Amino acid sequence: MLRRTIRATDIKSPDELIELLDRHAYLADEGLATAAFLALRMGRPLFLEGEAGVGKTELAKTLAALLDAPLIRLQCYEGLDAAQALYDWDFARQLLHLKAAEAAGITDVGRLEGEIYDRRFLIARPLLKAIETQPSVLLVDEIDRADDEFEAFLLEVLSDFTISIPELGTVKAGTPPVVVVTSNRTREVHDALKRRCLYHWLEHPSFEREVAILRRRLPSCTEKLAEQVAAAAWPAPGRPGQTAGRGRDARLDGGAADAGRRRARPRAGRRHARRGAEVPGGRRGRARQRPARPGTEGERAVRPCVSPPPS
């Protein structure tokens, strides 16, 4: 039996999207499902912001699996520019082509220029690859790590999904890709990019939802074990089966206090060494105050030198 490919326009409501995501082991709440549904129906990018580990990237992966489309990921970082996000020319292959043409005796300059700037020598980066691949899901991950200049460039590309290549012309997407932009909020992203997208803030899941996610991801996991794992990952005082004041935060605070006490308490050997050297009358002080024994170097220093009588 062939599986029917689901298109973005086939999803009729947020509740249906919640059900489809649940089939791929992703539990979405009503707010997230509504934002994703509107982004799919309106063809606008979805901007997800929240702490690391709340499911932003996983939603893009699940949408790609749901729509049976390839996931094209653009990982942002400081210093990312257009050449690394759009396209680049394969200069090594172009040079080899010129060497081969020279060996074959081809001297037509116009022909060579047209050949070295052919599409086969163009390296498609994530943005161009997403525009040329239909359908596709484009994940622009951690946009907050990129520079402000890249934000302005990305905003221009997302406005009409068109890329201009001077040597080849304009490349336009027949069907715009599904775009998911994520941010961990390490810095503020410009409002212009947020207005271009449908914005949604992802909260950290509650204890009960974490248990449900564990049970959904690991069907063989018992409910008691899932609760213990969730409690260890995100404890809170007063939770059933947990002592108040204990948990990850309490353990971290207690460990820091113990480390501080250990640093404040000097070692015994060092303390005794400092006491003997600094306190008057200490062991080392008394050792230095003892008089020199007869015949020692100190006594010889004050003894007059007598020459032996002549023989």
Cis peptide before 240 (omega within 30 of 0): no
Rounded CA gap, 272 and 190, in Å? Answer: 61
Rounded CA gap, 172 and 160, in Å? Answer: 8
Residues 113 and 144 in one domain: no
Q: Count the Cβ atoms, other than its own, within 10 Å of residue 211.
A: 21
Containing domain of residue 171, as a range?
8-78+126-202
- What are the tens digits of pLDDT across the range 167-181? 899 999 989 999 999
Of the listed ranges 193-207, 250-264, 267-281, the one predicted with least confidence: 250-264
Rounded CA gap, 47 and 69, in Å? Answer: 19
Given 181, 202, 223, the domain boundary residue is: 202
Strands 178-183, 46-50: parallel, antiparallel or unpaired by DSSP? parallel
Residue 10 is given by DSSP the state G
Q: Are 213 and 219 in contact (CB under 8 A)?
A: no
35 exposed, middle or buried (CB, 10 Å; 0-12, 13-18, 19+)? Answer: buried
Residues 198 and 211 in one domain: no
Split at pLDDT 50, 70, 90, the class of 47 is: very high
Residues 17 and 96 in one domain: no
Mean pLDDT of 235-246: 44
Split at pLDDT 50, 70, 90, the class of 3 is: low
Rounded CA gap, 50 and 184, in Å? Answer: 5
- What are the tens digits of pLDDT across the range 105-162? 888 888 888 888 999 999 999 999 999 999 999 999 999 999 988 998 899 899 899 9
Residue 251 has what pLDDT?
33
Q: Which two tokens stand for residue 282?
A: 């200490």
